[in-house]
Amino acid sequence: MRIISGKHKGKRLTAPKSLPVRPTTDMSKESLFNILNNLYYFENVDVIDLFAGTGNISFEFASRGAQNIYSIDQHFGCVKFINSTSKELDLDIKTYKSDVYKFLEKTALKADIIFADPPYNFEEEQFLKIANLIFDNGILNKEGLLIIEHSKHTDTSSHPNYSYSKKYGGNVFSFFERLDKP
């Protein structure tokens, strides 16, 4: 896994093999950030990274200048790796060791971009519950995007806030937006 762009461009990160993760591939991540780069000035966005795992997505946002990044994962080893790597790279990423659903039910945070990379073996209802909690609790800012990464075998298009999907090999990014935006 490597950081693709920004102040740490090209930096390789090696997570412990003991972490229960499936990091977003560099090719998929680069494609995602090409889309986001055309929509946002990263210095002006707040980001929530759900099921953060190795922090791959959080590190990419931080390297590109995002100021407020919140990484949420329930696995202690993942949170520990994100914290130690953030310190090593002098990046200000705030971590929360929490079940994502419980976090979304209780948080007062709001974000412009929310990225969720849950386990691919989740049932469709579990993916949609993430979107429901985010929109029902007003966590996504008005011009924001929720992006859920999933396999090509999962269909999230039934959600009322679904906007579109982009496929990269076996990976799919589904994009969701607030319905009340201008």
The total number of structural domains in the chain stands at: 1
In a domain, 83, yes or no: yes
Domain carrying residue 170: 42-176
3-class state of residue 143 by DSSP: strand
In a domain, 7, yes or no: no
In a domain, 98, yes or no: yes
- Residue 146 buriedness (CB in 10 A; 0-12 / 13-18 / 19+): buried
pLDDT at 37 over 70: yes
In a domain, 18, yes or no: no
pLDDT in tens, 110-151: 999 999 999 888 888 999 999 999 999 999 999 999 999 999
- Output the domain CATH number for residue 164: 3.40.50.150
Nearest to 100 by CA among 81, 122, 84: 122
Tell me the pTM: 0.94
pLDDT in tens, 40-58: 999 999 999 999 999 999 9
In a domain, 10, yes or no: no
In a domain, 36, yes or no: no
In a domain, 16, yes or no: no
